[in-house]
Amino acid sequence: MTVDAHVHIWDIGGGKFHVEYDWLTDTSDVLYQTYTLDQLEPRLAEHGVGALVLVQASDSLAENQALLDAAQRAPCPATVVGWLPLHEPERVATLLPRLRHPGFVGVRHMIHRDPDPAWLLRPEVSQSLDQLARAGLSFDAVAERPELLAQVPVIAAAHPTLTVVLDHLGKPPIAERGWQPWADLLASAAEQPNVVAKISGLATVSAPGFTASDWQPYVEHALSVFGPDRLMLGGDWPFTLTAASYREVWRTTLGTLTNLSPADRERVLSGTARRVYRLSDATVRHPRSEGEST
Protein backbone atom coordinates (compact mmCIF):
# COMPACT_ATOMS: atom_id res chain seq x y z
CA MET A 1 0.00 0.00 0.00
CA THR A 2 1.18 3.50 -0.88
CA VAL A 3 1.12 6.51 1.43
CA ASP A 4 0.61 9.89 -0.20
CA ALA A 5 2.61 11.95 2.26
CA HIS A 6 1.82 15.36 0.78
CA VAL A 7 -1.78 16.37 0.12
CA HIS A 8 -3.36 19.81 0.44
CA ILE A 9 -6.99 20.80 0.68
CA TRP A 10 -8.52 24.26 0.97
CA ASP A 11 -11.77 26.18 0.77
CA ILE A 12 -11.32 29.57 -0.88
CA GLY A 13 -14.46 30.73 0.91
CA GLY A 14 -12.84 30.05 4.28
CA GLY A 15 -15.08 27.11 5.17
CA LYS A 16 -16.60 26.58 8.59
CA PHE A 17 -13.24 27.25 10.28
CA HIS A 18 -12.74 30.57 8.42
CA VAL A 19 -9.29 29.76 7.08
CA GLU A 20 -7.65 32.46 4.98
CA TYR A 21 -5.43 31.63 1.99
CA ASP A 22 -4.31 35.10 0.93
CA TRP A 23 -1.58 33.80 -1.37
CA LEU A 24 -4.14 31.98 -3.54
CA THR A 25 -5.42 35.27 -4.96
CA ASP A 26 -2.04 35.74 -6.66
CA THR A 27 -1.90 32.31 -8.25
CA SER A 28 -3.48 30.53 -11.20
CA ASP A 29 -7.14 29.83 -11.92
CA VAL A 30 -6.32 26.14 -11.52
CA LEU A 31 -5.43 26.65 -7.86
CA TYR A 32 -7.93 29.36 -7.03
CA GLN A 33 -10.69 26.85 -6.40
CA THR A 34 -11.92 24.86 -3.44
CA TYR A 35 -10.31 21.41 -3.19
CA THR A 36 -11.60 18.67 -0.91
CA LEU A 37 -10.77 15.03 -0.26
CA ASP A 38 -14.04 14.08 -1.94
CA GLN A 39 -12.49 15.24 -5.22
CA LEU A 40 -9.30 13.26 -4.65
CA GLU A 41 -10.87 10.06 -3.35
CA PRO A 42 -11.73 8.50 -6.77
CA ARG A 43 -8.08 8.76 -7.80
CA LEU A 44 -6.57 7.09 -4.75
CA ALA A 45 -7.48 3.45 -5.46
CA GLU A 46 -5.99 3.61 -8.94
CA HIS A 47 -2.53 4.04 -7.44
CA GLY A 48 -3.01 1.90 -4.35
CA VAL A 49 -2.95 4.95 -2.06
CA GLY A 50 -4.31 3.79 1.27
CA ALA A 51 -3.15 6.52 3.67
CA LEU A 52 -2.69 10.29 3.51
CA VAL A 53 -0.78 13.08 5.17
CA LEU A 54 -2.65 16.38 4.98
CA VAL A 55 -0.19 19.28 4.91
CA GLN A 56 -0.86 22.90 5.80
CA ALA A 57 -1.17 25.57 3.14
CA SER A 58 -1.95 28.49 5.44
CA ASP A 59 0.17 29.81 8.28
CA SER A 60 -2.84 29.86 10.59
CA LEU A 61 -4.19 27.99 13.58
CA ALA A 62 -7.62 27.87 11.98
CA GLU A 63 -6.36 25.53 9.28
CA ASN A 64 -5.25 23.02 11.92
CA GLN A 65 -8.91 22.58 12.77
CA ALA A 66 -9.94 22.30 9.11
CA LEU A 67 -7.31 19.65 8.39
CA LEU A 68 -8.05 17.61 11.52
CA ASP A 69 -11.74 17.72 10.70
CA ALA A 70 -11.03 16.55 7.13
CA ALA A 71 -8.72 13.79 8.39
CA GLN A 72 -11.46 12.49 10.65
CA ARG A 73 -13.71 12.16 7.59
CA ALA A 74 -11.01 10.92 5.21
CA PRO A 75 -11.62 7.76 3.13
CA CYS A 76 -8.45 6.19 4.56
CA PRO A 77 -6.07 6.71 7.50
CA ALA A 78 -4.90 10.30 7.56
CA THR A 79 -2.75 12.46 9.81
CA VAL A 80 -1.98 16.18 9.74
CA VAL A 81 1.07 18.40 9.43
CA GLY A 82 -0.28 21.69 10.67
CA TRP A 83 1.04 25.08 11.74
CA LEU A 84 2.15 26.75 14.95
CA PRO A 85 3.62 30.25 15.49
CA LEU A 86 7.16 28.97 15.90
CA HIS A 87 8.49 32.53 16.05
CA GLU A 88 6.58 32.87 19.35
CA PRO A 89 7.90 30.05 21.58
CA GLU A 90 5.89 31.12 24.63
CA ARG A 91 2.70 30.81 22.62
CA VAL A 92 3.79 27.46 21.21
CA ALA A 93 4.24 26.20 24.77
CA THR A 94 0.62 27.11 25.47
CA LEU A 95 -0.78 25.65 22.26
CA LEU A 96 1.09 22.34 22.11
CA PRO A 97 -0.75 20.63 24.99
CA ARG A 98 -4.05 21.29 23.20
CA LEU A 99 -2.83 19.47 20.10
CA ARG A 100 -1.70 16.25 21.77
CA HIS A 101 -3.66 13.57 19.97
CA PRO A 102 -2.75 11.03 17.27
CA GLY A 103 -3.88 13.10 14.31
CA PHE A 104 -1.52 16.03 14.75
CA VAL A 105 1.92 14.68 13.87
CA GLY A 106 3.99 17.57 12.57
CA VAL A 107 4.35 21.28 11.95
CA ARG A 108 5.23 23.32 8.89
CA HIS A 109 5.75 27.01 8.21
CA MET A 110 5.71 28.38 4.68
CA ILE A 111 9.34 29.46 4.82
CA HIS A 112 9.45 29.77 1.03
CA ARG A 113 6.82 32.55 1.25
CA ASP A 114 8.04 34.22 4.44
CA PRO A 115 9.52 37.69 3.80
CA ASP A 116 12.43 36.84 6.10
CA PRO A 117 14.75 34.46 4.21
CA ALA A 118 16.46 33.56 7.50
CA TRP A 119 13.23 32.94 9.42
CA LEU A 120 14.17 29.33 10.08
CA LEU A 121 17.44 30.39 11.75
CA ARG A 122 15.88 32.80 14.25
CA PRO A 123 16.75 32.01 17.90
CA GLU A 124 13.08 32.10 18.88
CA VAL A 125 12.21 29.59 16.14
CA SER A 126 14.99 27.37 17.44
CA GLN A 127 13.36 27.40 20.88
CA SER A 128 10.10 26.25 19.34
CA LEU A 129 11.80 23.50 17.34
CA ASP A 130 13.14 22.18 20.64
CA GLN A 131 9.57 22.05 21.89
CA LEU A 132 8.44 20.13 18.80
CA ALA A 133 11.19 17.59 19.36
CA ARG A 134 10.18 17.08 22.99
CA ALA A 135 6.55 16.67 21.92
CA GLY A 136 7.47 14.02 19.34
CA LEU A 137 6.38 16.15 16.38
CA SER A 138 8.26 16.48 13.10
CA PHE A 139 9.01 19.66 11.16
CA ASP A 140 8.41 19.94 7.40
CA ALA A 141 10.86 22.29 5.66
CA VAL A 142 9.61 23.82 2.38
CA ALA A 143 13.18 24.54 1.28
CA GLU A 144 12.45 25.31 -2.36
CA ARG A 145 15.45 27.60 -2.95
CA PRO A 146 19.17 26.90 -2.51
CA GLU A 147 19.54 29.33 0.40
CA LEU A 148 16.68 27.60 2.21
CA LEU A 149 17.95 24.11 1.42
CA ALA A 150 21.31 25.12 2.92
CA GLN A 151 19.52 25.85 6.22
CA VAL A 152 18.09 22.34 6.56
CA PRO A 153 21.28 20.62 7.82
CA VAL A 154 21.92 23.58 10.13
CA ILE A 155 18.64 23.20 12.00
CA ALA A 156 18.86 19.41 11.90
CA ALA A 157 22.29 19.48 13.54
CA ALA A 158 21.06 21.96 16.14
CA HIS A 159 18.07 19.74 16.98
CA PRO A 160 19.27 16.14 16.65
CA THR A 161 16.14 14.62 18.20
CA LEU A 162 13.82 16.49 15.81
CA THR A 163 12.80 14.74 12.58
CA VAL A 164 13.16 17.29 9.78
CA VAL A 165 11.22 16.46 6.61
CA LEU A 166 12.51 18.05 3.42
CA ASP A 167 9.57 18.70 1.12
CA HIS A 168 9.84 18.14 -2.65
CA LEU A 169 13.52 17.08 -2.59
CA GLY A 170 14.36 20.77 -2.25
CA LYS A 171 12.98 21.42 -5.77
CA PRO A 172 15.76 20.14 -8.05
CA PRO A 173 16.32 22.14 -11.28
CA ILE A 174 14.78 19.51 -13.56
CA ALA A 175 13.40 21.78 -16.30
CA GLU A 176 16.85 23.17 -17.13
CA ARG A 177 18.55 19.82 -16.48
CA GLY A 178 20.62 21.51 -13.79
CA TRP A 179 22.51 19.79 -11.02
CA GLN A 180 24.49 22.11 -8.77
CA PRO A 181 24.25 23.52 -6.18
CA TRP A 182 21.17 21.37 -5.56
CA ALA A 183 22.99 18.02 -5.56
CA ASP A 184 25.59 19.03 -2.98
CA LEU A 185 23.02 20.80 -0.82
CA LEU A 186 20.81 17.70 -0.81
CA ALA A 187 23.77 15.53 0.13
CA SER A 188 24.64 17.93 2.95
CA ALA A 189 21.10 17.70 4.29
CA ALA A 190 21.22 13.90 4.10
CA GLU A 191 24.39 13.82 6.20
CA GLN A 192 22.19 14.63 9.18
CA PRO A 193 20.55 11.34 10.21
CA ASN A 194 17.39 13.07 11.45
CA VAL A 195 16.55 14.47 7.99
CA VAL A 196 14.16 12.60 5.70
CA ALA A 197 12.86 13.75 2.32
CA LYS A 198 9.81 13.58 0.09
CA ILE A 199 9.93 12.65 -3.57
CA SER A 200 7.17 15.11 -4.38
CA GLY A 201 6.47 18.37 -6.15
CA LEU A 202 8.67 17.50 -9.14
CA ALA A 203 6.07 18.08 -11.85
CA THR A 204 5.97 21.81 -11.18
CA VAL A 205 9.72 22.15 -11.76
CA SER A 206 9.77 20.02 -14.91
CA ALA A 207 9.44 20.98 -18.56
CA PRO A 208 6.15 20.08 -20.29
CA GLY A 209 5.98 16.48 -21.49
CA PHE A 210 8.24 15.18 -18.73
CA THR A 211 8.84 11.44 -18.29
CA ALA A 212 10.35 9.23 -15.61
CA SER A 213 13.72 9.49 -17.35
CA ASP A 214 13.72 13.25 -16.72
CA TRP A 215 13.27 12.66 -12.99
CA GLN A 216 15.46 9.57 -12.69
CA PRO A 217 18.86 11.24 -12.07
CA TYR A 218 17.42 13.37 -9.27
CA VAL A 219 15.59 10.50 -7.61
CA GLU A 220 18.65 8.26 -7.94
CA HIS A 221 20.76 10.92 -6.25
CA ALA A 222 18.23 11.19 -3.43
CA LEU A 223 18.28 7.42 -3.03
CA SER A 224 22.08 7.39 -2.94
CA VAL A 225 22.37 10.03 -0.21
CA PHE A 226 19.27 9.26 1.88
CA GLY A 227 18.59 5.60 1.19
CA PRO A 228 15.05 4.18 0.97
CA ASP A 229 14.62 4.29 4.76
CA ARG A 230 14.58 8.08 4.66
CA LEU A 231 12.53 8.74 1.54
CA MET A 232 8.76 8.87 1.01
CA LEU A 233 6.37 9.86 -1.75
CA GLY A 234 3.91 12.71 -2.10
CA GLY A 235 1.50 13.63 -4.87
CA ASP A 236 1.44 17.36 -4.00
CA TRP A 237 -2.21 17.55 -5.02
CA PRO A 238 -3.68 19.97 -6.01
CA PHE A 239 -0.54 22.04 -6.66
CA THR A 240 0.57 19.48 -9.20
CA LEU A 241 -2.52 20.19 -11.32
CA THR A 242 -0.80 23.30 -12.65
CA ALA A 243 1.60 20.98 -14.48
CA ALA A 244 0.11 17.47 -14.63
CA SER A 245 -2.71 15.25 -13.43
CA TYR A 246 -2.52 13.19 -10.27
CA ARG A 247 -2.30 10.08 -12.47
CA GLU A 248 0.64 11.46 -14.47
CA VAL A 249 2.51 12.39 -11.32
CA TRP A 250 2.12 8.95 -9.74
CA ARG A 251 2.97 7.06 -12.93
CA THR A 252 6.09 9.15 -13.41
CA THR A 253 7.13 8.86 -9.76
CA LEU A 254 6.66 5.09 -9.66
CA GLY A 255 8.56 4.83 -12.92
CA THR A 256 11.67 6.15 -11.18
CA LEU A 257 11.57 3.33 -8.59
CA THR A 258 11.57 0.29 -10.88
CA ASN A 259 15.18 -0.63 -10.05
CA LEU A 260 14.52 -0.93 -6.32
CA SER A 261 14.18 -4.28 -4.59
CA PRO A 262 10.67 -5.09 -3.34
CA ALA A 263 11.74 -4.36 0.24
CA ASP A 264 13.30 -1.00 -0.61
CA ARG A 265 10.36 -0.06 -2.78
CA GLU A 266 8.01 -0.77 0.12
CA ARG A 267 10.07 1.50 2.35
CA VAL A 268 9.74 4.40 -0.08
CA LEU A 269 6.08 3.74 -0.89
CA SER A 270 4.94 3.29 2.66
CA GLY A 271 7.42 2.48 5.42
CA THR A 272 9.14 5.83 5.84
CA ALA A 273 5.92 7.83 5.83
CA ARG A 274 4.23 5.45 8.26
CA ARG A 275 7.12 5.75 10.69
CA VAL A 276 7.59 9.51 10.46
CA TYR A 277 3.94 10.48 10.40
CA ARG A 278 2.70 7.77 12.78
CA LEU A 279 0.17 6.27 10.40
CA SER A 280 -1.42 2.98 11.42
CA ASP A 281 -3.42 0.40 9.53
CA ALA A 282 -6.56 1.48 11.33
CA THR A 283 -8.35 4.69 10.46
CA VAL A 284 -7.06 7.48 12.66
CA ARG A 285 -9.76 9.46 14.40
CA HIS A 286 -9.05 12.96 15.60
CA PRO A 287 -10.89 14.55 18.51
CA ARG A 288 -11.31 18.22 17.69
CA SER A 289 -8.80 20.44 19.42
CA GLU A 290 -9.99 23.04 21.90
CA GLY A 291 -7.14 25.34 20.97
CA GLU A 292 -7.27 28.67 19.19
CA SER A 293 -8.99 28.77 15.82
CA THR A 294 -7.96 32.16 14.46
pLDDT of 167 reads 98
How many distinct structural domains can be found in the chain? 1
pLDDT of 101 reads 80
Instruction: Please tell me the distance from the alpha carbon of residue 267 to that of residue 200, in angstroms, as a whole number.
Output: 15
Residue 285 lies in a domain: no
What is the domain-level CATH number for residue 231? Answer: 3.20.20.140
Rg (CA), the chain: 18
Residue 283 lies in a domain: no
% of the chain residues with pLDDT over 90: 91
* 94 contacts: CB under 8 Å, gap ≥ 6: none
% of the chain residues with pLDDT over 70: 95
User: What is the mean predicted confidence (pLDDT) over 17-39?
Assistant: 93
Residue 161 lies in a domain: yes
Residue 25 lies in a domain: yes
pLDDT of 292 reads 37
User: What is the mean predicted confidence (pLDDT) over 6-32?
Assistant: 93
Residue 163 lies in a domain: yes
Task: Give the residue numbers spanning the domain of 96.
Answer: 2-277
Residue 288 lies in a domain: no
Residue 284 lies in a domain: no
Report pLDDT digits (tens) over 181-232.
Answer: 999 999 999 999 999 999 999 999 999 999 999 999 999 999 999 999 999 9
Average the pLDDT over each of 26-35, 114-123, 242-251 and give the range with the smallest value. Answer: 26-35
